[in-house]
């Protein structure tokens, strides 16, 4: 059986939901004739027609605003930001309107905003950002960032079925790099539930998205030195699965928080605070963070490589913490 790429898994999940529910439709730039910038929507215009695969002008605010309005009429729009960086143009629509509809008048806003994010593709400062922390600070939203093809498919299906707004981050560097043998039968993955990606006993790395694989590479190297590293893949960033994180940290007694987004104000700080508040007596060392430095993502490939967290940086921190 042919393995399924991450990008194809997202495509399959959307396709299946459009087949299942006629209220699901797509809206965004270059989705139809072009098939999407990353070809996630390839063939969908031909199958579902122009009333359900809607090409728009370059206006993220209009895309999300139209999606919110459609959701009030009983539809389930999947809106694409061609790059996650451009989601800032729709920030007001998302955080001041979609996120607050349930609170203000108990109105569901079942929209999904797809956001291809992340570096490692030499896209420069305007096509490589990881803006998830902005939205994790906004009550009323759900924020998802899958690392595997299995989770990408299962979570996009769950996101489309959810009655509240979901921001769905897809790491671009994983699109064709990650491949998996997916089940033939239909499945979903629950929103709000992390998983232990790799069992370990000596220290815990909590991470998500592309950094799961940096952690895995580091864990393989450390295993040769007799250091056993557990990897917790968050999968959902809001709501946070605190139970799974704390259970792992209580087991290993040491924690590293790893994310590709820049350090200050990143989700790692929130996780560190929760671990300090609720698992302090189980800790045998300081809670460490590994993240990108506080600067824009460089365009130059050598500078981008230096900017991004990687296995080598995880290994250095993990060795230090193991011997603490």
Say whether 243 sits in a helix, a strand or coil: helix
Q: Which of 253, 258, 263 is nearest to 314 (CA)?
A: 258
Tokens 């707004």 correspond to 165
Cα–Cα distance between 275 and 101 in angstroms, integer? 32
- DSSP conformation class of 230: E
Helix (H), strand (E) at residue 66: helix 60-72
Q: Alpha-carbon dihedral of residues 116, 176, 27, 80, nearest 10 degrees?
A: 0
Q: Is there a cis peptide before residue 239, judged by omega within 30 degrees of 0?
A: yes
Q: Is the dihedral of CA 7, 9, 15, 18 positive or negative?
A: negative
Q: 127, 137, 282, 323: which one is catalytic?
A: 127
Joined tokens for residue 222:
């450390």
Query: Is the CB of residue 158 less than 8 Å from the CB of residue 189?
Result: yes
Query: Is the CB of residue 296 less than 8 Å from the CB of residue 130?
Result: no
Query: Is the CB of residue 87 less than 8 Å from the CB of residue 94?
Result: yes
Cα–Cα distance between 71 and 24 in angstroms, integer? 10
Cα–Cα distance between 12 and 19 in angstroms, integer? 10
Angle at 312 between CA 149 and CA 272, to 5 degrees: 75
Cα–Cα distance between 160 and 168 in angstroms, integer? 10
Let me know if 127 is a catalytic residue: yes
Active-site positions? 127
């Amino acid at each position: 059986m042919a393995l399924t790429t991450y990008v194809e898994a997202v495509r399959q999940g959307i396709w299946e939901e459009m087949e299942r529910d006629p209220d699901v439709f797509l809206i965004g730039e270059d989705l139809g004739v072009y098939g999407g910038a990353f070809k996630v929507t390839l063939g969908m215009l031909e199958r579902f027609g122009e009333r359900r695969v809607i090409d728009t002008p370059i206006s993220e605010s209009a895309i999300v605003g139209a999606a919110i309005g459609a959701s009030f009429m009983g539809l389930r729009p999947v809106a694409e930001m061609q790059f996650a960086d451009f989601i800032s143009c729709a920030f007001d629509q998302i955080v001041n309107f979609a996120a607050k509809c349930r609170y203000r008048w108990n109105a569901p806003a079942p929209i999904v905003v797809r956001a291809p994010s992340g570096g490692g593709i030499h896209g420069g400062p305007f096509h490589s950002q990881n803006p998830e922390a902005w939205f994790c600070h906004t009550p009323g939203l759900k924020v998802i960032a899958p690392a595997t093809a299995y989770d990408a498919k299962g979570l996009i299906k769950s996101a489309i079925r959810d009655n509240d707004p979901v921001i769905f981050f897809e790491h671009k560097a994983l699109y064709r790099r990650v491949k998996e043998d997916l089940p033939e039968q239909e499945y979903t993955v629950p929103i709000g539930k992390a998983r232990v990606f790799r069992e370990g006993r000596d220290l815990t790395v909590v991470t998500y998205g592309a950094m799961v694989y940096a952690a895995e590479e580091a864990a393989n190297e450390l295993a040769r030195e007799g250091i056993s590293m557990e990897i917790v893949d968050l999968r959902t960033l809001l709501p946070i699965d605190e139970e799974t994180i704390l259970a792992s940290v209580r087991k290993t007694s040491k924690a590293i928080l790893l994310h590709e987004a820049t350090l200050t104000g990143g989700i790692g700080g929130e996780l560190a605070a929760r671990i300090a508040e609720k698992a302090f007596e189980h800790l045998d060392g300081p809670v460490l963070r590994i993240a990108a430095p506080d600067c824009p993502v460089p365009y130059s490939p050598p500078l981008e490589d230096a900017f991004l967290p990687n296995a080598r940086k995880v290994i250095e921190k993990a060795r230090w913490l193991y011997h603490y």
